DNA sequence: ACAGTAGGTTAACAGTGTTAACTTAACGAA
DNA sequence: TTCGTTAAGTTAACACTGTTAACCTACTGT
């Protein structure tokens, strides 16, 4: 078999990610995962402390990949505004092209995240920290008007996630066209940072 | 006892909502809920088909309350722009003042929501449908520039949820001030609809 | 040839959602 | 008053869950 060559730990991770995405968290169990991999349930505990740890590892992987995608996207441009837009589009593109990985990041609700080791959160910061520094640069160059770049970056992050999760979770109103929704939402989020006109 | 006067069904709902918020979904069980209420686990099945139905009922209640809050907020003003801002602030205020109810709406992840009866989703639409009609009015009066009011409304909805959930789920970067984050995010979301300036 | 170890296994425990069958109290009709 | 019916709850059981402890087994280095 070819799969025998791949380390068991990796096979467990891949199988879990797939099952997590297609069946949902509450449907997966250690026994089912083990069964799909072709080992006994307790073998999973040789590589992961418990179910939480297994899921957290999956999240960490996904966060890493997302961060890399964003950094690559930004690196393609020198111009600050182009970098700003590239980051946002990289985020959205990654989420839409890798729904399994993206969904895993946010699939786990607050309670289970509370058990997520705090130091790991710093890795998750990489993406919007980069965005923050781009915003700062934008302010310096006079293109944007932003009080607190870090807050602004986080705000964009949250807004993007809201848009993406509505799309991926299929909560979108059936009367609304998916692509148009995404496009207009991104446009709106971007636009909000170039114009700061007082309401007349 | 005073609690004996309250119907069992209501006591179950109240207890479940509280436990759901404080302990999280994965920590609650039919037996624990029943124990806290003071009845046997199977008694819950006299009023709810299963655990899903129990949770869905809770969601429905919360959605209803949120909708009412928004409608009340909008009704306080005649001016379109004022109504627009009132809706957004009502949404945020409700979420922050009733975290138990708001969190319950989004606590249940996509998989469990797929089992949520589709006809119930229409009720959930009430809030942003109202927002959509206000946007439409704003376009008519020349205050705003929006292509598709319904899409725009949904986009705002998603963005607001993103911001709120970051705050309530305590995923906020510790360097960032909570109140300032909320304020600036709302400001940004609102501003995006008044100004549509092409990027130079 | 033998001890140690890496990489698995089976058996068991306490807890889960859910169903079926049972009890018990209240009520109206004869 | 006694019967049948119904409502509201109970207990016992089933198949499944995460997790632990004890066991096996094949390969390694000496």
pLDDT number for residue B143: 85
CB contact under 8 A, B109 and A109: yes
Q: What is the CATH number of domain B61-191?
A: 1.10.357.10
% of chain A beyond a pLDDT of 70: 86
CB contact under 8 A, A150 and B162: no
pLDDT number for residue B169: 66
Q: Where do you find CATH 1.10.357.10 in chain A?
A: 64-191
| Separation in Å: D3 C1' and B47 CA | 30
Residues (pLDDT < 50) of chain A are 1-3, 195-200
ipTM: 0.80
Distances (CA, A) of B186 to B16, B67, B89, B120: 32, 19, 8, 28
Q: Closest Cα partner for A37 from A66, A8, A80?
A: A8
Minimum distance, in Å, between the CA of residue A4 and any CA atom of chain B:
32
Q: What is the CATH number of domain A64-191?
A: 1.10.357.10
Residue B197: pLDDT band with limits 50, 70, 90? very low
| Separation in Å: D5 C1' and B49 CA | 24
Average pLDDT over residues B21-47: 93
Provide the CATH topology of domain A1-48: Arc Repressor Mutant, subunit A (1.10.10)
Select the residue of A81, A157, A184 nearest B199 (Cβ to Cβ): A81
Q: Where do you find CATH 1.10.10.60 in chain B?
A: 1-48
Residues 46-105 of B with CB under 7 A from strand D: 46
Q: State whether residue A2 is helix, strand or coil.
A: coil
Task: Tell me the per-residue pLDDT of B41-99, one tens digit each, with 9 for 90 and over.
Answer: 999 999 999 999 999 999 899 999 999 999 999 999 999 999 999 999 999 999 999 98
CB contact under 8 A, A163 and B165: no
Q: Closest Cα partner for A95 from A165, A154, A171, A159?
A: A165
Q: Where do you find CATH 1.10.357.10 in chain B?
A: 61-191
What is the rounded CA–CA span in Å between residue A163 and residue B128? 14
User: By the CB < 8 Å criterion, does A29 face chain B?
Assistant: no
Task: Tell me the per-residue pLDDT of B121-176, one tens digit each, with 9 for 90 and over.
Answer: 677 778 889 999 999 999 899 888 888 888 888 888 888 988 887 787 666 778 88
Burial class for B139, CB neighbours closer than 10 Å (0-12, 13-18, 19+) = middle
């Amino acid at each position: 078999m070819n799969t025998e060559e791949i380390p068991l730990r990796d096979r467990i991770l891949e199988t879990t990610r797939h099952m997590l995405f297609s069946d949902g968290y509450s449907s997966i169990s250690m026994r089912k995962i083990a069964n799909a991999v072709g080992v006994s349930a307790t073998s999973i505990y040789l590589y992961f402390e418990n179910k939480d740890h297994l899921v957290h590892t999956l999240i960490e992987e996904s966060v890493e990949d997302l961060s890399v995608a964003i950094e690559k996207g930004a690196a393609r441009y020198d111009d600050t505004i182009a970098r700003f837009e590239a980051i946002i589009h990289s985020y959205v593109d990654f989420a839409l092209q890798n729904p399994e990985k993206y969904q895993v990041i946010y699939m786990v609700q607050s309670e289970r995240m509370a058990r997520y080791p705090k130091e790991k959160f710093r890795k998750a910061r990489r993406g919007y920290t980069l965005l923050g520094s781009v915003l700062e640069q934008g302010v310096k160059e006079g293109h944007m008007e932003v009080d607190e770049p870090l807050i602004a970056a986080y705000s964009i992050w949250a807004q993007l996630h809201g848009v993406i999760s509505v799309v991926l979770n299929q909560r979108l109103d059936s009367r609304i066209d998916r692509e148009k929704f995404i496009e207009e939402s991104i446009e709106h989020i971007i636009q909000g940072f170039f114009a700061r006109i007082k309401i007349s």
